[in-house]
Amino acid sequence: MTKDNRANETKIRELIENWASAVRPEDIDGILAHHSDDIVVGKEKI
């Protein structure tokens, strides 16, 4: 694995862990922190 791949993997793991840490307490701001403002979930626009 290259140095760049390791760095990317670390960033992805951090992003997923931050998202999971927000999901557990139902922190909607944390859950949506890396989503665009016009994300559509199901049929409702958030």
- pLDDT score for 46: 59
- pLDDT score for 37: 85
By 3-state DSSP, what share of the chain in percent is helix, strand and coil, each rounded to 5? 55, 10, 35
Bridge partners (DSSP) listed for residue 44: 41
Condensed to tens digits (0 to 9), the pLDDT of residues 1-46 reads: 899 999 999 999 999 999 999 999 999 999 989 888 887 777 665 5
Statement: the pTM of the whole predicted model exceeds 0.75: no
Yes or no: say if 39 and 24 are a contact pair by the CB < 8 Å rule: no
CB atoms within 10 A of CB 8: 12
- pLDDT score for 45: 58
